[in-house]
Chains A and B, each alone.
Chain A
Amino acid sequence: MARYLLPLSIFIVLAGFLGYGLKLNPREVPSPLIDKPAPAFRVPQLHAADKTITPEDMRGKVWLLNVWASWCAACRQEHPLLVEFTRRNVVPIVGLSYKDRREDGLAWLKELGDPYVLSAFDLDGRVGIDYGVYSVPETFLIDKAGIIRHKHIGPLTPEALERTLLPKIRELSGA
Chain B
Amino acid sequence: MARRWLFALLLAASTTVLGAEALPVSPDPELERRVMAIAEELRCLVCQNQTIADSHAELATDLKNQVRQMLKSGKTDREIKEFMVQRYGDFVLYRPPMKTTTWMLWVGPFLLLLGGLGILLFKLRLRTKRVVDEPMVTEQHARARVLLAPATNNQSTTESI
Question: Contact: A130 with B87, CB < 8 Å?
Answer: yes
Q: How many residues of B contact A (CB 8 A)?
A: 15
- CB nearest neighbor in B for A133: B59
* A33-B62 contact given A134-B45, A135-B46, CB 8 Å threshold: no
Q: Per-residue CB proximity of A28-44 to B under 8 Å, as 1/0?
A: 01111100000000000
Question: CA separation between A130 and B48, bound complex, in Å?
Answer: 19
Q: How many residues of A contact B (CB 8 A)?
A: 17
- Count A/B pairs, Cβ under 8 Å: 37
State whether the Cβ of A125 lies closer than 8 Å to any Cβ in chain B.
yes
Secondary structure of the A contact surface, majority rule: loop
A132 contact from B46, B62, B66, B87, Cβ within 8 A: B87
Question: Contact: A129 with B62, CB < 8 Å?
Answer: yes
Question: Contact: B48 with A125, CB < 8 Å?
Answer: no
Known A32-B87, A99-B58; further 7 A-B contacts with Cβ < 8 A = A27-B48, A30-B89, A32-B85, A129-B66, A131-B87, A132-B87, A134-B88
What is B's interface to A at a CB cutoff of 8 Å?
A: 45-46, 48, 58-59, 62-63, 66, 85-91
